[in-house]
Amino acid sequence: MSALTVPSLPEPDPPSRQHDVLAGPLLLGIDHVGIAVADLDVAIEFYARTFGMACVHQEVNEREGVREAMLAVGEAHDGPAPRLQLLAPLTHDSPIAAFLHRSGPGVHQVAYCVRDVEQVAAVLRERGLRVLYDTARPGTAGTLVNFVHPKDAGGVLVELVEQPR
């Protein structure tokens, strides 16, 4: 009778700085889902009329060439209410315009709440993922954000969102 050979398990990754600085999971919850739309006003009216969602914030982000709105979805349970972000291009050459041209209207990104966007980005880089910006950028309503390349996240653009302190 021959002995059964069990393959050895790979060595675990060394602990990252994330767990030295922040306790708990990297992602704290879903912050919002971003939807690319051609016309922001039409989309806001559609979601209000059809689903009863209230627009709770609007702003223009010239740097990214986008006009955006946050719509509340339901009620808050253990933090801010879940939100839907509508994103409309300001110019024909903005990233959202390119997305709409390539994919049409629809889901653009899934955004997750994090305690410290720089720390989470560092951990994800250590794990081999491409993070789009070297340092976090200003996001909606005073947040700091960064993104994980969709090719490294199963085809989904992942946004990391740190709320203002």
In which region does residue 103 sit, left (phi positive, over 0), alpha (psi from -120 to 50) or beta (all else)?
Answer: alpha
Answer whether residue 7 is part of any domain. no
- Look up the domain containing 43 and give its range: 24-162
Answer whether residue 16 is part of any domain. no
pLDDT digits (tens, 9 = 90+) for 103-153: 999 999 999 999 999 999 999 999 999 999 999 999 999 999 999 999 999
For the chain, what percent of residues have pLDDT higher than 70?
83
Answer whether residue 29 is part of any domain. yes
pLDDT of residue 5: 46
10 has pLDDT over 80: no
Cα distances from 75 to residues 13, 43, 53, 63, 154, in angstroms, run: 39, 21, 11, 31, 29
Give the other-Cβ count within 10 Å of 106's Cβ. Answer: 10
**CATH code at 67?**
3.10.180.10
Q: With cut-offs at 50, 70 and 90, classify the pLDDT of residue 77.
A: low
- How many domains are contained in the chain? 1
Answer whether residue 10 is part of any domain. no
